[in-house]
Amino acid sequence: MTAHLDIDGLSVTFRDHDEERPLLEDVSLSLTRGEILGLVGESGSGKSLLCRTVIGLMPSRKLYVTGGSVRLDGTEILGRDMGAIRGRRIGMIFQNPTSHLDPVMTIGNQIREGLSRHKGLDDRTAKAEAIALLTQVGFPDPPRAFASYAHQFSGGMRQRAMIAVALACDPEILIADEPTTALDVTVQAQILRLLMELRDRRGLSIILITHDLGVVAQTCDRIAVMRHGKVVETGEKRALLADPQHPYTSELIASHPSMPHPEDTVTAHPHDRSPVFEIDDLDVSFPVGGGFLTGKREVRAVKGVSLRIWPGETVGIVGESGSGKSTLARAMLGLTRVSAGEITFDGKVLTKERDKTLRALRSDAAMVFQDPFNSLNPRLTIGQTLAEVLKTQGETPPDQIPARIGDLLDLVGLDRGFARRRPRSLSGGQCQRAGIARALAVNPRVIIADECVAALDVTIQAQIVDLFRDLTARTGLTLVFIAHDLAIVRNLCERVIVMHHGEVVEDGPSARVFHRPERPYTAALIAAIPDINPDRPLNGGQPLTRQEYAT
């Protein structure tokens, strides 16, 4: 079959004064009509750069194409004016919709802008087509969505809006760059099903960039594996997953956090000491909207939660976006004020002895935040950030701080040279590892990790999970691990807590919860986990109804 998109020998080099470094080396790939090609590899392997080069959106002026060609239906497009191609023939869904949707334009106007520019439609016709697109990508109230702004939607809905913008001009090829990385498993399954339906309905060709082999196994026709700017292996998905030819592909497959068998259990911790955290009937509410006539309103993010977390325990907290996981974690560390109930840390009641409890929390507990870029100071190098923590803690002699920084970078798998780099020069995965190093710098008794592996590729995920497992075994660290990747939670945590709409709906040993869930909502989350088996249906079959979720 003739290639729809043909990339042949593409090379890209970074040049800055005397420094020259290859980023893509002799990359060759093809995409046929109606095909979904999965592009996998770890952070920094060149996946996103390859696709940005194809559509003429290279992220820096210091990057130069030094060889190769890119042909669309046999016509060379590399180096051409991409105005007539980008959007009209090749659309792109970016990894972070919040950064790529205009915050001061309604979703509808962003779609209508592309329709007017590329199709020449008048405002009324463009609006009608935009509403039809919003319907097609699954918005429950398309006219309302048309008039709404990006910040008014959840992450899953923003991603759907991004897809609608990309589809506005009927592109022949859609490039989806990590479109489900930050989404919980049920929304991820919805987005993936949507992409597959659009391929079938419109005849789209899709390049799906991801670090999750479970995603490519269940959605793609072929897989291309990239490492260090090179394509190391390509093949039909079943053949490649069953018999990988390159050692790196084997490593990726071995690192995938597939669900263990029922007999595989994480050893439970004895509850023979006082709990580290005691949470009783906790409520956290936030004011929303309201005005002179309507009065102030509140949304209850956490509703009547009661928990005990024991020393040395590894506890996973799971649930969909908006279920209250992160709010609960921030309340536990005193970062969010509680509305009712009590939080006790190591015998000190946060709601009654706030200053005393906060001092204990700051010396004995640390948090790894979900967004690595916003949690690191952009003006400081990674080494300066770690040094600041070590100086404040006061346990490391000043002359030993550089060595300790090197040890921390070794712990999280970063080269020691990263101490001289600032966050903006790091990938998302590298920033997240720096955030984990910062948390470990205080030698904490408790770490609360909020979606800390969401942006990491599977090999680094496996390293971080092994790191946490080793730390808990060696030091007795108590770990509260918040994630939307249930397979990782099942592999790491001895206990799992399931949250839904601010409430704890299930709490128990991981082996029991994952293999004999008591609530249909828990069963739906488990069914949505992407499996590396390409013959397993996506999302385990039909999704639950709204009524079933509520039971």
Question: Which among 40, 31, 38, 37 is positioned nearest to 6, based on CA atoms?
Answer: 31
Q: Which residues contact 308 (CB under 8 A, 6 or more apart)?
A: 271, 275, 277, 278, 279
Is 388 a member of any domain? yes
Q: How many domains does the chain have?
A: 1
Contact 93, 166 (CB under 8 A): yes
Rounded distance, CA 314 to CA 493, Å? Answer: 5
Is 78 a member of any domain? no
Name the DSSP class of 83.
G
Is 226 a member of any domain? no
Amino acid at 503: E
Rounded distance, CA 210 to CA 40, Å? Answer: 5
Is 443 a member of any domain? yes
Q: pLDDT (tens digit, 0 to 9) for every residue of the chain, 551 residues total?
A: 566 899 999 999 998 888 888 999 999 999 999 999 999 988 778 898 999 999 988 888 889 999 999 999 999 998 888 877 888 889 888 877 777 888 899 999 999 988 888 788 888 999 999 998 888 887 878 898 899 998 887 666 788 888 888 888 888 999 988 887 666 777 777 778 888 888 888 888 999 998 778 888 888 999 999 999 999 999 999 999 999 999 999 988 887 766 555 445 555 555 667 899 999 999 999 886 555 555 567 788 899 999 999 999 999 999 887 788 888 999 999 999 899 999 999 999 998 888 999 988 888 999 888 777 778 898 999 999 999 999 988 888 999 999 999 999 988 878 999 999 998 888 767 888 898 899 888 888 999 998 887 767 777 777 778 888 888 888 788 999 998 778 889 889 999 999 998 999 999 999 899 889 999 988 888 887 777 877 776 654 444 443 443 44
Is 174 a member of any domain? no
Amino acid at 14: F
Is 111 a member of any domain? no
Is 81 a member of any domain? no
CATH number at residue 449: 3.40.50.300
Rounded distance, CA 191 to CA 291, Å? Answer: 36
Collapse the DSSP code of 166 into the 3-class scheme (helix H, G, I; strand E, B; otherwise coil) and give the result. Answer: helix
Name the DSSP class of 532.
S
Is 187 a member of any domain? no
CA distance to 273, 410, 536, per residue, from 472 (Å): 16, 18, 34
Q: Locate all alpha helices (DSSP H) within 93-154, ordered by sequence.
A: 97-100, 107-119, 123-136, 142-146
CA distance to 114, 115, 129, 444, per residue, from 124 (Å): 14, 11, 9, 59
Write out the residue range of the structural domain in which residue 394 sits.
Answer: 277-287+297-528
> Model-level pTM?
0.75
